[in-house]
Amino acid sequence: MIKISDIIDIIELTLVSGYIKGNDAVSSLMIASPESGKTEILKGFGTWQNSYFVADITSYFLISQLLPRIKNDKYITHIILPDFLKVIHKRHSTAASTLMLLNQLTEEGVFQIPLGNTLYNFEGLRCGIITGITRGDMKDRRHRFHKTGVLSRFIPVSWTYTSGTKEEIEEYISSLDYQEEEGRGFPQHLQDVERHSIEVRADPKLLKPLTKVSRKYGELEGTYGFRYLKHLIRLSLASAIRDNRREVTREDIERVIYLSRYMNLSFTPI
């Protein structure tokens, strides 16, 4: 795919964030027009050891099948769901219960849930979510997402293509060299590493520049930006882990600040 290496980089750091000890995994919501490559990008990460790729979910499926599997598989850090619309387009009660469970899963943790004659105990299980939605569907549901708290739990990742990039994509497809995105390879140094098991150090002074980014985001979205700041810090820690380091450097901070141009609802042109 053309010119989306920065978007892929964000998703990769999101996945690696699930290894940070003492922190929740970052969750990401990709927002772009149809045919922007959202599904192709996510498919490329479906083979990562720490991801579980699923086409659709309901609260029943989560409780009875998916969460028990994640609980017993100490390597899974994220659920990858290509089309978030499949979740919210269901009957209101079904969609509401699924969204509530996803909210718990990403931050507070899932504990005891009765289902039929069975009481499931997930012992505070937490897991990141990576999903996507079209720009139009996001516009229609933005108020609802704010109201339910869904949006604040995700890092929004938005972009749009310039006319020049569209032409490059058309030429690429017409060249007959087009292939499905295979994604980046899973970091070998993370092979068989359990989720939330890597301790990373960071000098608070080094993290200070991230507050400027979070404040700006908060002003745009009518929030304080505190939760967004936590996301940025976790991505910085993930950057160190991806590079097989246990301490955050200025390079990690600069990388996250650069990528933050897409971590909003401004649809940055590519």
**CATH number for position 202:** 3.40.50.300
Strand partners, 95: none
pLDDT at 178: 63
- Structural domain includes residue 130: yes
pLDDT at 143: 76
Q: What is the DSSP string of the chain?
A: --S-HHHHHHHHHHHHGGGBTTSPPP-EEEEE-TTSSHHHHHHTTTTSTTEEE-S---HHHIIIIIHHHHHH-TT--EEEES-THHHHTS-HHHHHHHHHHHHIIIII-EEEEEETTEEEEEEEE--EEEEEEEHHHHHHHHHHHHHHTTGGGSEEEEEE--HHHHHHHHHHHHTT-------PPPPGGGTTPPTT-B--B--HHHHTHHHHHHHHHHHHHTS--HHHHHHHHHHHHHHHHHTT-SB--HHHHHHHHHHGGGSSSS-EE-
Strand partners, 186: none
Q: What is the pTM of this model?
A: 0.94
Low-confidence ranges of the chain (pLDDT < 70): 1, 148, 177-183
Q: Please state, in angstroms and as integers, the Cα–Cα distance from residue 194 to each residue in 57, 73, 75, 238, 249, following that order.
A: 24, 9, 5, 14, 24
- Structural domain includes residue 22: yes
Name which of 137, 108, 162, 167 is nearest 30 in CA terms.
137
pLDDT at 2: 78
- Structural domain includes residue 251: yes
- Structural domain includes residue 27: yes
- Structural domain includes residue 15: yes
What is the count of structural domains for the chain? 1
Is residue 128 within 8 A of residue 17, CB to CB? The reply is yes
pLDDT at 172: 85
- Structural domain includes residue 184: no
How would you label 125-139 residue by residue, b for 16+ Cβ within 10 Å and e otherwise? bbbbbbbbbbbebbe
Is residue 233 within 8 A of residue 201, CB to CB? The reply is no
- Residue span of the structural domain in which 43 resides: 5-174+193-269
Structure tokens of 108? 């507070």
pLDDT at 207: 97
pLDDT at 83: 94
Count of beta carbons in the 10 Å neighbourhood of residue 20:
24
pLDDT at 183: 58
- Structural domain includes residue 246: yes
Give the distance from CA 89 to its chain's centroid. 20
pLDDT at 179: 62
- Structural domain includes residue 85: yes
